[in-house]
Amino acid sequence: MFKFMVYFIAISILLIHCLPFENNTEDYDRGGADLSYLGRSVFGEPNEESGNRVEQWNKSSKVNPEELGTYAEGDILFPNDVRRSGVISETKRWPGGVVPFEINGTYSEEQREMIKKAMMEFHKQTCIRFRKRKPGDSDWIWITNAKTGCYTSIGRLGGLQTVNLQAPACLLHGTVMHELLHAIGFGHEQSRSDRDLYVTINWANIKQGHLQNFEKAGKLLSTSFGVSYDYGSIMHYSSHAFSVNGHPTIAAIRDTNLQLGQEEGFSKNDVEKIRRIYNCSNISTKQNSSEIDIDIK
């Protein structure tokens, strides 16, 4: 009898930890993504060390500007005042896919056009709509140019939400799109719970103090939204992210020479994820430009 009770308790514990909870399913349905694996590292304040690293970036670098910060996974930062027991376990979508914004950074006209160009990619290929903040908007993203690197939080926080795009390095087309994708609720591709089926993490090549950047999400909440793993996602780390010795820190299992990530724009799977999480209908790319234009002046 005693052995049976031990066996029964062990099986019960296993089921509790392995089966999805009802509220987790609800989080998934409304766009939740598991960020609990990041722990307390997501909370903090902007710092100039990250800004100095980004300032030294150039086109010959083997990494992307958003991978240079001291923040969680390089560019994820939640303000300390939104801390909830030290863990963020879900993200929130923007109602109707509408994201109000303000641009408060001291950007040149050309740099403002770079931000607009990135936003327009969302308009052309998805149902996400960026528009200037109105007096009645209580939640909005605040795009600024502090010398603290490239960073934002994930999903809609509520209230003012900083998207820092330090000029000029963070004004790359792909970097702006990358940070905006974080803001609407997407994490990094290589942080998916199933990533070990597709990539190898070369732990010995990672800088000391940055191992946590390569942790992966738990299985209870999915960040993949039913879309297959995407080596070419704009949300994927480059192969040399946080390398201590110039050797790759992450490589595709099927082809170690395969390029990881890119800064050109959405991959097909990036678009599909947005459409699924925001329940987009198929958006025509032949819309009249006046219907999707953005006023950033």
Binding residues for Zn(2+): 178, 182, 188
State residue 131 phi and psi, 5-degree precision.
-145, 155
State residue 112 phi and psi, 5-degree precision.
-65, -35
Return binding residues.
178, 182, 188
Closest CA to 189 of 255, 119, 270: 270
Q: Please identify which residue in the block is written with the tokens 């050309």.
A: 110
| Cβ neighbour number for residue 75 with a 10 Å cutoff | 26
Given 66, 73, 90, 179, which residue is catalytic? Answer: 179
DSSP one-letter string for 167-218: TTGGGSHHHHHHHHHHHHT---GGGSTTGGGTEEE-GGGBPTT-GGGG----
67 as an active site residue: the answer is no
Task: Output b/e per residue, 246-262; b: 16+ Cβ within 10 A.
Answer: eebbbbbeeeeeeebbb
DSSP state of 234: T
Closest CA to 275 of 141, 153, 128: 128
- The residues, any chain, with a CB within 8 Å of residue 18's CB and separated by 6 or more, are 219
Known catalytic residues are 179
